[in-house]
Structure 1
């Protein structure tokens, strides 16, 4: 039996999957809003993310929620959330799970 605890990256992804786009009942990870997660020096994280549209109503609050929730992981000391619109988000970024949830499959 393998009792290996989840990696830090797995735990970050788990936290990201607990954050939902308020307009769509799908989490931001499966929606494809997270472009990159990088871990530096074991306790610093950089997350590159986007929004479904540049004028998204949660443009101010969603990146802050991502930062706050990822920073709540015990060994993480610093979280840098970078918001980008390059490339612009599109439905192709969604996971099959998200497409199924939204009836797009």
Structure 2
């Protein structure tokens, strides 16, 4: 975790989970978790709970979750439950650039059955409003 994220209070709370008080802007709750046995043991069965957890992470400056903003480019789930996420930001100079990958990692870790989590910040292709869901566009008055 970088110093800015640690200073701002982002990161895993007790037992590797984020509590609302531990991560301002990351409204991740226990209902995003799912027992791996309940998920059927198939790594792909973790995809929907992971997406649900990501939908509880918001950029503090935009009232839409990062998944519907189109900031998540790739979610790879290994057979052992390890997860790799490629994400971007709305702009390279985004003020939460140091904190957002930590928020994403912590959110994905809340899903039962997930092992190690790696988050890579990528800039290609650059983010554009075209990557947003219709729901996000509607929320922001773009539809």
TM-score (norm 2): 0.68
Q: Which residue of 2 aligns with 1:78?
A: 116
- Where structure 1 has 5 or more consecutive residues not aligned to the other structure, the ranges are none
How far residue 61 of structure 1 moved from its aligned partner, in angstroms, is 0.4
How far residue 103 of structure 1 moved from its aligned partner, in angstroms, is 0.4
Q: Which residue of 2 aligns with 1:48?
A: 86
- Where structure 2 has 5 or more consecutive residues not aligned to the other structure, the ranges are 1-37, 40-44
Q: Which runs of 4+ in 1 moved over 4 A?
A: none
Q: Is the 8 A contact 2:55 2:65 kept in 1?
A: yes
TM-score (norm 1): 0.92
Instruction: Kindly report which structure 2 residues correspond to 1:1-105, keeping only aligned pairs within 5 A, or say none.
Output: 7-105=45-143
How many residue pairs align between the two structures?
101
Root mean square deviation, CA, Å:
1.1
- Higher alpha-carbon deviation: 70-79 or 51-60: 70-79
- Higher alpha-carbon deviation: 82-91 or 69-78: 69-78
